[in-house]
Structure 1
Amino acid sequence: MISLAIDGALFNYRVAGVAIVDGKVLLHKTPSDKFWSLPGGRASLFEFSKDTLIREMQEETGMDVEVGEMLWISENFFVYNDIKHHELGFYYQMEIPSLKDQNDFIGVEGDGELFFKWHSVAEISQIKLYPEFLAAELAQNPLRVKQFSSGFINLDQA
């Protein structure tokens, strides 16, 4: 996975998917996190970003997805688990053709769990969602293509 430790900090190259169905968006979090994020994960070396999203969704949820157009590119700086992160994120439209329902479910992240939940887009501003630009962008209809940069945010204090 493309994640480089440099001088006590971490660089991540992350790909995430935006699945909106019936006015709800799929989000996930670890059991210890106090915030939500879009599902996805880190790219592998020489892996196309769309393929990263397909692989990560299969590994974490067992679901096959179809990756659409890129929506956003984000350069994001934050502190997580007391480590400074520099993250380059690619965000794609994502379809889940075999979706049967929008019930909450548990996925896997390595040896740990991820909690997946469909959140109402209309109420998305009422939850903690990172990166911060996502709440405003998910409320747009239709979604707009943009590039974002943010300063440091301490997710350990979220």
Structure 2
Amino acid sequence: MISLAIDGALFNYRVAGVAIVDGKVLLHKTPSDKFWSLPGGRASLFEFSKDTLIREMQEETGMDVLVGEMLWVSENFFVYNDKKHHELGFYYKMEIPSLTDLNDFIGVEGDSELLFKWHPIAEISNLRLYPEFLVAELAQNPLRVNQFTSGFTDLDKA
């Protein structure tokens, strides 16, 4: 996975998917996290970003996904687990053909559980959703292509 430790900080290259069904967006979090994010994960060296999303969703949920157009590119700077991060993120439209319902479900990341939940887009402003640009962008209909940068956010604080 592309995650480089440099001068006590981490650089991550992350790819995430935007799955929207019936006005709800699929988000995930670990049980200990205080925030939600779009599902996805870190790319491997020499892996195309769309392939990263396919692999991550298969590993974390066991589901096959269809990856559509790229929506957003973001550069995020944040503190997580007391460590500074610089994250380059690619965000794609994503479909889950095998989806039969919008129930919450548990996925896995390594030895840890991930909670997956479909949140009504109309209510996501009430969530702690990261990166922060997602609240405004997910409310756009249709979704629009864009790029974002952010200052430092401390994800360890409530």
Name the TM tier (shorter chain): over 0.9
Report the TM-score when normalising by structure 1: 0.99
Q: How many residues align?
A: 158
| Residue identity opposite 2:32 in structure 1 | S
Tell me the residue number matched to 2:89.
89
> Does the alignment pair 1:37 with 2:37?
yes
Give 1:124 deviation, angstroms: 0.8
Q: What are the residue-to-residue correspondences of 1:43-58 with 2, within 5 Å?
A: 43-58=43-58
Tell me the residue number matched to 1:117.
117
Give 1:121 deviation, angstroms: 0.5
Moved runs in structure 1, 4+ residues, more than 3 A?
A: none
Give the whole-Å Cα distance in 1 for the aligned partners of 2:156 and 2:123: 24
Partner secondary structure for residue 93 of structure 1: strand
Tell me the residue number matched to 2:156.
156
Gaps of 5+ in 1: none
Gaps of 5+ in 2: none
Report the TM-score when normalising by structure 2: 0.99
Give the whole-Å Cα distance in 1 for the aligned partners of 2:8 and 2:109: 23
Q: CA RMSD in A?
A: 0.4
Give the whole-Å Cα distance in 2 for the aligned partners of 1:114 and 1:89: 20
What percent of counterpart residues are identical? Answer: 88
Tell me the residue number matched to 2:64.
64
Tell me the residue number matched to 1:132.
132
Give the whole-Å Cα distance in 1 for the aligned partners of 2:32 and 2:42: 20
| Residue identity opposite 1:55 in structure 2 | R
Which string of whole-angstrom CA distances, capped at 9 and with x for unpartnered residues, describes residues 69-118 of structure 1? 00000000000000000000000000001101000000000010000000
